[in-house]
Amino acid sequence: MGFSTAASYAQAAAAGEVSLNDAIVMHLAGNCFPPIPADFHPGVIKAVDYANAEDWDEQITFPNGRTFSVAQVIEKLHLGVFVYRADEEPLEVDSL
């Protein structure tokens, strides 16, 4: 578990083996401790979408009423491997 598992999920999404949303959900449910509850998943996926659009200051409010910036969500939930800049290739697990 950890970074290499998240990177494997991100690589599978980049290769089209799973959707990006499914890869993020696998990370949240199986790679985070404690697992992130399913009702938080849409907000997390939205945060990754905003990050991929480089909209880091957008605010995400979760079902518990707490609000975080996209940057905070990406950092706190270790989602950086799911964020791609248009000018770079997705992370290759073999290069770790």
Whether 42 and 18 have beta carbons less than 8 Å apart is answered as: no
- C-beta atoms surrounding 84 within 10 Å: 17
The pLDDT, as a whole number, for residue 96 is 41
What is the reported pTM?
0.82
18-49: burial string, b at 16+ Cβ within 10 Å, e else = bebbebbbbbbeebeeeebeeebeebbbebbb
The CA-CA-CA angle for residues 12, 38, 19, to 5°, reads: 20
Confidence class of residue 14 from pLDDT cuts 50, 70 and 90?
confident
Confidence class of residue 2 from pLDDT cuts 50, 70 and 90?
confident
Domain residue ranges of the chain, discontinuous segments joined by +: 3-86
pLDDT digits (tens, 9 = 90+) for 49-83: 999 999 999 999 999 999 999 999 999 999 999 99
The pLDDT, as a whole number, for residue 85 is 60
